[in-house]
């Protein structure tokens, strides 16, 4: 689909997607709709907009969530991408397991429960400070790994 109302101009809003060259980014319209504003409310707030601008902004946002990869050998490329994603998922899953083991070892060494730590019931003392900081780092790392794994799980590769 060609977008007739979406423009890109380095002199307007730093080149981001805008509506008909106006200083109204597509992202603003999408955020307003996501926040629950009706088309009528948006048009009242932004009188330069037309209903078709809002419709095309939403279609543009939907299209931008898709990724297209062009290759001369799609039959060979698609399996490579799928294999790479599966490999990344296995590596992340292994890292999650090792990180959970590190967390279990740290809580055991500290003699605390993970829940007490998360609830802020563990007192930071000078002799435990380094281990508690390490535990906090491991928990943050685990959250990042789990988020990344979830994103890979949600990835849909279509032929």
Three-state SS sequence of 3-65 = CCCEECCCCCHHHCCEECCCCCEHHHHHHHHHCCCCHHHHHHHCCCCCHHHHHHHHHHHHHHC
Check whether domain 6-64 has CATH 1.10.10.10, yes or no: yes
How does the average pLDDT of the chain come out, rounded?
A: 90
pLDDT higher than 70, residue 1? no
**What is the predicted pLDDT for the residue at 151?**
86
Residue with tokens 């730093």: 14
Boundaries of every domain in the chain: 6-64, 74-154
pLDDT in tens, 114-146: 999 999 999 989 999 999 999 999 999 999 999
Is pTM beyond 0.95 here? no
- 81 pLDDT tier (thresholds 50, 70, 90): confident
Task: Return d(Cα 140, Cα 147) in angstroms, integer.
Answer: 11
One fold for both 6-64 and 74-154? no
**Mind giving me the DSSP string for 61-99?**
HHHHTS-----S-HHHHHHHHHHHHHHHHHHHHHHHHHH
**Which position has the higher pLDDT, 67 or 32?**
32
Q: How large is the C-alpha radius of gyration of the chain?
A: 24
- 44 pLDDT tier (thresholds 50, 70, 90): very high
Check whether domain 74-154 has CATH 1.20.58, yes or no: yes
DSSP bridge pairs for 25: 18
**Span 90-109, mean pLDDT?**
96
pLDDT higher than 70, residue 100? yes
Closest CA to 57 of 117, 12, 4, 99: 4
Which DSSP state fits 1?
Answer: -
């Amino acid at each position: 689909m060609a977008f007739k109302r979406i423009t890109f101009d380095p002199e307007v809003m730093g080149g981001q997607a805008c509506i008909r060259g106006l200083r109204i980014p597509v992202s603003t319209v999408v955020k307003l709709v996501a926040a629950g504003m009706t088309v009528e409310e948006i048009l009242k707030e932004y009188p330069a907009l037309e209903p078709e601008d809002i419709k095309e902004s939403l279609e543009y946002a939907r299209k931008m969530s898709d990724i297209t990869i062009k290759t001369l050998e799609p039959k060979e490329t698609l399996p490579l991408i799928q294999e790479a994603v599966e490999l990344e998922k296995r590596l992340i899953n292994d890292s999650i397991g090792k990180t959970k083991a590190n967390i279990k070892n740290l809580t055991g060494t500290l003699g605390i429960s993970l829940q007490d730590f998360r609830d802020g019931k563990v007192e930071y003392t000078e002799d435990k400070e380094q281990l508690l900081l390490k535990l906090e780092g491991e928990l943050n790392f685990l959250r990042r790994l789990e988020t990344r794994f979830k994103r890979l799980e949600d990835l849909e590769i279509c032929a």
